[in-house]
Amino acid sequence: MIPVQTLLDRLAAIGADPPGITREAFGAGENAAMALMAETARGLGLDCTVDAGASLSMRWAGTDPSAAPILIGSHLDSVVHGGNFDGAAGVVAGLAAIAALQAEGFRPRASIEVLALRCEEAVWFGLGLIGSRSLLGRLPEGALDLPHARGGQRLGECIAACGGDPRALGRPLRDPRRIGAYVELHIEQAPQLVEAGQPVALCLANPGNVRHPHIRITGEDAHTGLPHRFRHDAALAGAELALALERLWLDEEAARRPMAVTIGRFHTLAERHAMTVVPGAFEMSLDLRAYEAAHLAALEAKLHGLVGAVAARRGVAIDLGPRSAAAPGVMDATILGELAAAARQRALAPPRLNSPGSHDANNFAAAGVPTGMLLIRNRNGSHNPDEAMETDDLMAAVGLLTLWLAGRAGH
């Protein structure tokens, strides 16, 4: 077996940025983590290559070159001051499962590849899942011109600097029809497994999302004594829109249509705000997510209705700005059944849960690749310094993955 705990500790050292972990996409942190994974993979005799999107493939060649490969993937970047395990645990798990199979003398018929996919987190370019989008030809138009949050270097330039070829990203780098399956392991992002007392869960679906990272509301600056009927207050318009979105969320949940609304940025302009000025400009961001494509489309239509109503009522202009989207990821029923059977052999009773987060698995599922996910217990959520995955829980998931791979890649 590979030294799983040592790898996790080395990843933590790479990303150390008190009070948490920062592994900047296409930066020193993600690059060093990629190098560590490649070093580990070569120690297992795996072939390491970098694709045109600068993602890393670590391949254990199967005995049948015609067999469709099995992919195990996740990411190594983090949010700013996040935790050590979001994404990275899944890459380590893939290598650990291969090491376990090798220790048992197993030889796969189909090749098994562990993917370390670039820039899953949307904080770096306002667009997430970039490694899997690049691999599957799902980058939106204009994506290569998006500026990095630190320094402003364009995405295409970042990819080229890390060994990729942005000129090749207008089409899929891999034929989805020639991928046997994709499975991703990820820490749980809500305390459902803590509540259930189980180390691992079978994921049913990941939400898709519609994101507007730079919403701009424009009203009129005015004196604080101005009567209400004369005001065009951009801040109050932002507050009204935020509360309207929360009411929509609660109504949808009451109707048993799961979704989520997140407003991560919400502020007047730093160079303009003052205690005695009615703000004429306000900015916010929006992440709107749901588990079914039709539901997500309906929610987006309702968003536009709310925007129009608030703008008219407040006498302001609301520009939603750039839009990005990720398709929902519904997991493959056959893989779910196979993982459940493997869990029974391991004396595990994993619950079946939706994931609150979108992941690279979404893009594989949307491309028609049979896709599955395992969620690992994590007490304190993710995207914060207090991620609390226990290595024993990760190893329980690795054991389940190992058994599943033996069945899938050995047929």
Alpha carbons within 13 A on the beta-carbon side of 67: 19
CA 225 to chain centre: 46
Distance CA 351, CA 340 (A): 9
Contact status, residue 374 vs residue 185, Cβ threshold 8 Å? yes
Domains of the chain: 4-207+328-410 (3.40.630.10), 208-326 (3.30.70.360)
Which letter, b or e, does each residue of 86-105 get, where b requires 16 or more Cβ atoms within 10 Å of its Cβ? bbbbbbbbbbbbbbbbbeee
Model pLDDT for residues 273-309, shown as the tens digit of each residue: 889 999 999 999 999 999 999 999 999 999 999 999 9
Nearest of 77, 90, 92, 87 to residue 8 by alpha carbon: 92
Model pLDDT for residues 178-194, shown as the tens digit of each residue: 999 999 999 999 899 99
Q: What is the pTM of this model?
A: 0.89
Residue 199 has pLDDT above 70, yes or no: yes
The predicted pLDDT at position 126 comes to 87
In 3-state terms, what secondary structure has residue 187? strand
Nearest of 157, 95, 166, 87 to residue 121 by alpha carbon: 87
